[in-house]
Amino acid sequence: MRVGAHESIAGGVFNAVEAQVEDGGNCGQIFTHSPQVWQDPNIDDDEAAQFKTLSDDNDVGPWVIHSSYLVNLCTPKDGLREKSIDSMQKEVDAADKLDIPYVNVHLGAHTGAGVEGGLDNAVSALNELDVPEGVTVLIESDAGSGTKLGGDFEHLDYVLSESEQDLEVCVDTAHAFAAGYDLSSADAVDSTVAEFDEVVGLENLACVHLNDSKHECGTNKDEHAHIGEGLIGEEGMSAFVNHPDLADVPLVLETPHEDGRGFAWNIQKVRELRDANERSE
C-alpha cells in the first residue's frame, strides 16, 4: 500500500523525504516553492541527488509535484496564460531533475470564457508544454466552485481526450465529494468509482488525494478533515481505501494539522482501515 502526505521542503527538498519517513508514509507530494507566488523552483544538483538517494534508500515513492495555486490553464487572459504555461514548464523540468514521475495541476477557472472555452484554453495551454520523458502531468479533480473547471468527471475526460499530451488524473476525494460525487457509504463509493471508470477510465487514475471533507456532498466547499472524521466519514473512507479497483493507486494526504493530530495520525488511520478490512477477509 502506497500512502503518504504532502510534505514541506523547508531547508532543502530532501527534508521532505525525512519528514515522510517520520510520518510513516512511503509516497508523497511537495511544492517546489511557495504556491501562493510566481516563483521558480530553486533546486541545485546536490539537493536533487540527496532527494533521490533518500527516496531510494527509504523506498519512498512515487512523489508528486503540486503546481502553484496561481496557475490557471483555463484563463482567457493572455498574460495569466503565459505565466501559467511558463510555471508549468518549470515544474515538469524540476520533476525530471528529481526523478519525480508526476506534476499535479488544477485546470483553473474560465472566468467568463464558458465551460467549453475554458476547457479548450486548458487543452491548448497543456499542448504548449515540452514534458520530459518519464514525467506525466496529472489533472486534479476540483470542488467546482464559481467558474472553476474539473469538478465534473466529463471535464477531466474532455481534457485527456483532446490534449496532445499523455495526461492522467488525480482525484481528490474531498473535491469530488464537494462537487457532488457521494463517497459516504460503501454503495456510494462503488457508484462513484464506476462512474469515474465509465467517464474517464480507471486506467487514467494515477494518484488520489485522500481527504475527508468538513462540508456536505455537493456544496462545492473545499475544506479538508481528518480521515474518517468528516462528512465522508469512516465508512466511506474505509470503502474507498479498500476498493479493489483502487488497491494499487498511491494515496497522498492533504489532511489538516489540528486537534493535536497531523499527517502521522492520518496515515496510521488509513493503514488501520486497510488492515481491518484484510483481517475481516
59 within 8 A of 98, measured Cβ to Cβ:
no
Average pLDDT over residues 208-236: 98
The per-residue pLDDT for 187 is: 98
Q: Is residue 222's pLDDT more than 80? A: yes
Confidence grade of residue 280 (pLDDT, cut at 50, 70, 90): low
Cell of 90: 518549470
Q: Is residue 155's pLDDT more than 90? A: yes
Q: What tens digit of pLDDT does each residue of 15-28 get?
A: 999 999 999 999 99
Q: Give the CATH number for residue 15.
A: 3.20.20.150
59 CB neighbour count, 10 Å cutoff? 10
β-strand partners of 170: 140, 207
193 within 8 A of 186, measured Cβ to Cβ:
no
What domain range is 269 assigned to? 3-280
Average pLDDT over residues 250-258: 98
66 within 8 A of 6, measured Cβ to Cβ:
yes
pTM of this structure: 0.96
List the Cα angle 129/37/143 in 5-degree steps. 75
Q: Is residue 281's pLDDT more than 70? A: no
User: If you ran DSSP here, which 8-state letter would residue 246 be given?
Assistant: G
| Cβ neighbours for 151, distance < 8 A, ≥ 6 positions apart | 141, 142, 143, 144, 175, 178, 179, 180, 220
Q: How many domains does the chain have?
A: 1
CB neighbour burial string for 238-268, b if at least 16 within 10 angstroms, e if fewer: bbbbbbeebeebbbbbbbbeeeebbbebbbe
Q: Is residue 62's pLDDT more than 90? A: yes
Average pLDDT over residues 221-234: 98
Average pLDDT over residues 82-93: 98
Query: Nearest to residue 101, comparing CAs of 267, 250, 240?
Result: 250
Average pLDDT over residues 159-184: 98
205 within 8 A of 243, measured Cβ to Cβ:
no
The per-residue pLDDT for 94 is: 98
Average pLDDT over residues 47-69: 98
Confidence grade of residue 276 (pLDDT, cut at 50, 70, 90): confident
Beta strands in the chain (DSSP E): 3-6, 28-30, 63-66, 102-106, 108-109, 136-140, 148-149, 168-172, 205-210, 212-213, 224-225, 251-253
Q: What does the H/E/C string look like for 170-217?
A: EEEHHHHHHCCCCCCCHHHHHHHHHHHHHHCCHHHEEEEEECEECCCC
C-alpha distances (whole Å) from 176 to each of 25, 27, 34, 196, 265 are: 23, 22, 25, 10, 23
The per-residue pLDDT for 170 is: 98
Average pLDDT over residues 262-267: 98
Average pLDDT over residues 81-88: 98
Task: Give the chain's mean pLDDT.
Answer: 97
What's the one-letter identity of residue 165? Answer: Q
The per-residue pLDDT for 278 is: 66
99 CB neighbour count, 10 Å cutoff? 16
The per-residue pLDDT for 252 is: 98
Q: Is residue 279's pLDDT more than 70? A: no
